[in-house]
Amino acid sequence: MLENLKKYNIILASQSPRRKELLKGLDIPFTVMTIPDLDESYPKELQAEAIPMYLAEKKSQAYNTLLNDNTLLITADTIVWLNNKELGKPKNLTEAKEMLSFLSNKEHEVITGVCIMTTKKKKSFYAVSKVKFASLTEAEIAYYLTNYNPLDKAGSYGVQEWIGYTAVEHMEGSYFNVMGLPIQRLYQELKSF
């Protein structure tokens, strides 16, 4: 479908199985490369969408030496944003519990920054989805933490898992963005790349 991309070897630089699954849905051939241990710190003055945009571009820079004229690289980063605070991946289960308690009965934003890059061109964009959580009991949070892996997910949750079924009251924007890749927007950007 994306005829303009046939000349490229497309690389998704990500450790996320969800991003891999979503990109697969576009029916384009690609390979996955995991990001080497990358310092995911960012300047403290950055706010909201500037954070995942910065990190997606930082990830793309880690692959500069691997790019050639036939390579198209896709990198992404997702954060949860609530009360002017960034919730990335929790460091441990205690932090995951704190994040889920913080999200309980509140609306938050899920923001994904994406960078598409070749040796000649770079395009970055972001997508925002608003998610309203129901009130979570301590038992529900404990159940999720025991039965699922919150440590590899921004905000400590996967919308496609049990907590998404039971806690998400409503959503505005792309569901796939909440999973970690705004795939419809990515498709449009790749079409015009």
CA 145 to CA 96: how far, in whole Å?
8
Q: Which two structure tokens, joined as six digits, stand for 78? A: 């997702």
Distances (CA, A) of 132 to 37, 39, 40, 105: 33, 31, 27, 7
Q: Which of 27, 37, 39, 77 is catalytic?
A: 77
Q: Which two structure tokens, joined as six digits, stand for 80? A: 């949860």
69 classed as catalytic:
no
CA 9 to CA 66: how far, in whole Å?
12
Distances (CA, A) of 43 to 39, 50, 65: 12, 10, 24
DSSP state of 36: P
- Would you please indicate which residues are annotated as catalytic (active-site) residues? 77
